Structure 1
Amino acid sequence: MAASEAMLIGQGLGLSAADLHLLLRDSAGGSRYLDNHADRHLEGDYLETFGIDRVVEELSTVSQMSKTAGVASDVLDASARAHQAALERFGPEPGELLAVKLLEEATGRTLRR
Structure 2
Amino acid sequence: MSWDRRNEDGTWKHRSPAVEKQIKDIASNEDSFIKVLGIVLEKKQNVVLIDDGTGKARIVAFDDELISKIKVGDKIRVFGTVMVGEESEIQINANIIQNVNKLSIELRSEVEQLKKSIEN
Query: Could you state the TM-score of these two structures normalised by the residue count of structure 1?
Result: 0.27
**Rg: which structure is higher?**
2
- Higher strand proportion: 2
The normalised TM-score by structure 2 is: 0.26
